[in-house]
């Protein structure tokens, strides 16, 4: 059975192409739920009109599906709470010049 940690680690391979960093470090991945072989990833984007949105969603789906034992992946785009730079990891903030 897959674990939440395995799925989160796989999601580190999904990059926001505009910022060149992965969605976990950017704070775009809000939650991962694992129930048996089913995974649900709740995520956001940096902006409502993010042109990379479909590519990021596909990356999330493919990365989660690549984890051994995962048979079904559901993605949920949310704007609640809205993404802000404060959600980024300290490393991402430093690299992108946010403090």
Between CA 16 and CA 65 the distance in angstroms is 19
Domain holding 15, by residue range, is 4-80
Q: What is the CATH number of the domain that holds 35?
A: 3.30.300.130
- Which residue do the tokens 């596909």 mark? 58
Q: What would the pLDDT profile of 40-86 be if each residue is shown by its tens digit?
A: 999 999 998 889 999 999 999 999 999 999 999 999 999 999 999 99
Q: Say what the pTM is.
A: 0.94
- Residues 76 and 43: beta-carbon distance below 8 Å: yes
Residue 9 forms part of a structural domain: yes
Between CA 96 and CA 93 the distance in angstroms is 5
Answer positive or negative: Cα dihedral of 51, 77, 98, 6.
Answer: negative
Side-chain half-sphere exposure of 84, counting CA atoms within 13 A = 4
% of residues, the chain, pLDDT over 70: 99
Q: Domains in the chain: how many in total?
A: 1
């Amino acid at each position: 059975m897959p674990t939440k940690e395995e799925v989160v680690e796989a999601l580190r391979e999904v990059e926001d192409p505009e910022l060149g960093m992965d969605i976990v470090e950017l704070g775009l991945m809000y939650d991962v739920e694992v129930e048996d072989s089913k995974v649900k990833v709740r995520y956001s984007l940096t902006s409502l009109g993010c042109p990379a949105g479909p590519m990021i969603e596909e990356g999330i789906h493919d990365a989660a599906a690549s984890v051994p034992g995962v048979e079904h992946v559901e993605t949920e785009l949310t704007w609640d709470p809205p993404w802000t730079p404060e959600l980024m990891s300290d490393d991402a903030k430093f690299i992108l010049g946010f403090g």
